[in-house]
A and B are shown apart, each in its own frame.
Chain A
Amino acid sequence: MSTYDATGNATRRPFSGRRVRAGDLILQGVAGAAALGAVVLVGLIVYKVVQGARLSFSTFGLGFLTTTGWDPVHQQFGAANFLFGTIVTSFGALLLATPLALGIALFLTELAPRWIRAPVTALVETLAAIPSVVMGLWGIIVLAPVLQDHVMPALHSALGFIPLFGPSTTGASIFTAIVVLTIMILPIISSVSRELFLGVPGELKEAALGLGATRWEMVRGVIFPYARGGVASAMILGLGRALGEAIAVFYVIGAFNGKISWNLFGPGNTIGAWLASEYSNSGSKLETSSLFYLGVILLVFSLLVNFLAQVIVRRVSRRQGLSVL
């Protein structure tokens, strides 16, 4: 035993000479420092944004979240209407985007002729590459008039008894923001879902079809249950993107800071959109600090979203690991 160790050491030594090990250590050190840098960067982002919000936090506390109004004259600032707009537009977009994205993913994995799959996949993912400033400009000039003249009146006359579908006053509305956000998060959800659907074992699908299931029954009975957890985390990622979007929403939401209204066809505001419009503001310290406070809210949202997606992915991978056994 000991002789073996001794010879092992003896033969290893010439190859692990000093110079060689130094190179390893240097590369590991430099690469490790870069990795540490990423960790420090995340910490620094949280620290700087929270630090900036401190004055506003000590002035307004959590009441900031439940009061409406941005009044530099009386130094009263609240985020309730921004919070409301952010949540309504994001969940509205999620509601519209999810069925569409699932349809696209099914089309690309089950229905489309083989030669069409790669180009359509590329085109759908290209949708995600459109800059938000272009999306916003298009949204207000091209999309909003169409929605205002055709879609909103139709929905209002059919479903007007629901307060969500009130009379439309402008093209720039919460609804327009929802549609723009839908377009922006659609590719995220569809591309993740597509990959999940591709991962469904062929035997399971064939077994269902062999038992006489129609294609849709196979999708409902095999693909959806198999991919459920993954689709949920894809939806959460899409939601995260929608919650933090600023520029595109700024263009189309109408920058209305008044009383919260449930009418989707009226203007509103979101945290991101308001931050985008206040960038050159040279207001008081308290106002600047309140903008940082809004940033803290968005930061908390994005951390929550990441955390939720992680939990779901972990739980799903554990369950699927068991089901394979």
Chain B
Amino acid sequence: MSAADLSVLQRPNDRLRRRRVVNRGMELLAWLAAAIAVAILGVVVWSVAKRGASELNLDLLTKPRVPFALPGQPAGGLANAFVGTLVMVGLATLMALPVGILIAIYVNEFAPRAIRRGLGLVLDILNGVPAIVVGIFVFGLIVATHGQSGFAGGFALAVLMLPLVARSTIEVLLLVPGSLREASLGLGVARWRTTLGIVLPQAIGGIVTGAVLAVARVAGETAPLLFASSVGVSNSADWNPTHPLQSVPVAIFELSDTGVKSDVAQAWAGAFVLLMFILVTSLTARWLATRSRRKLQRAAR
């Protein structure tokens, strides 16, 4: 009788121990998962830096490319790629930024609820279209009839940018306190002046960080540019968007595949510059975004 009582008392203890062991094991796995993710980022950045940083010099940014450089001969740089990326990303920003902000204004300030939902879905769909399909689309729309050009490349990047800019702007506009809007409308200010003069300036910080994140994301896109602006590019810096322009990602893509040692080295150097640009801009923008969001939330309180 007493022995039976003891076993009853003991069993939960055993089970509790097992539950604790399982708990510990799972906690450990979660720590491990986070450590793996951070380690992967570290390994990627470190191995790109190791191969690319040594090749880095001012010539890379300013000198034209010298194809088939013999060993000992100066290998030139990737000025064509950096200028091309600058031009095409600039064009894309000029196209996507105003349209994206206007879409956000329409969604937040004018659209009835049903339309707002529908537009959210449209932006999701646009965001989900794979980059390579955007490339094919631009190929069919522009390149098939007019040939490749910096304009086609900029347009392809704009298509990718548009949903990013619109989404982030919508989110920021939602954070602008309704009381501000009401105060302005209540004073008899017209809706358009309220929107442009009161709401947008409040949100400008968030809109800019959203745009910077979109630029960082789009600057690294290869797939759409392969179809829109990659063939027959000039080896020297070319600012004319009616020509097909080289870009940094496409240059990496092509140089890493030639098998020539100096080409591969330049590909790594390009990858290093691109990666650093994207990491620095997106981390800074993210930091600014949390700061401005906190400020807006404080203003709302």
Contacts and interface: CB of A to CB of B under 8 A. Distances in A.
A310 B159 contact: no
A190 interface: yes
B22 A216 contact: yes
Interface string B2-34: 000000000000000001101100110111111
A104 interface: yes
- Say what secondary structure dominates the interface of chain A: helix
Contacts of B19: 214, 217
A36 to B, nearest CB: 9
A183 interface: yes
B128 A305 contact: yes
Contacts, number: 260
A39 B123 CA distance: 8
A280 B3 CA distance: 83
Contacts of A299: 129-130, 133
B173 to A, nearest CB: 12
| Residue picked from B44, B111, B132, B231, most chain A C-beta under 10 Å | B132
B140 A38 contact: no
B36 interface: yes
B34 A31 contact: no
Interface string A90-111: 0000000001111110111011
Contacts of B47: 138, 141-142
6 nearest A-B residue pairs (beta carbon)? A244-B130, A131-B220, A103-B33, A31-B106, A34-B102, A214-B23
Interface of A: 15, 20-21, 23-24, 26-28, 30-35, 37-39, 41-42, 44-45, 48-49, 51-52, 99-104, 106-108, 110-112, 120, 122-127, 129-135, 137-138, 141-142, 183, 186-187, 190, 214-217, 219, 237, 240, 243-247, 272, 275-276, 279-280, 291-292, 295, 298-299, 302-303, 305-306, 309-310
Interface of B: 19-20, 22-23, 26-27, 29-34, 36-38, 40-41, 43-44, 47-48, 51, 98-99, 102-103, 105-107, 109-111, 115, 119, 121-126, 128-137, 139-141, 144, 159, 162-163, 166, 188, 190-193, 195-196, 216-217, 219-223, 226-227, 230-231, 249, 252-253, 256, 267-268, 271, 274-275, 278-279, 282-283, 286-287
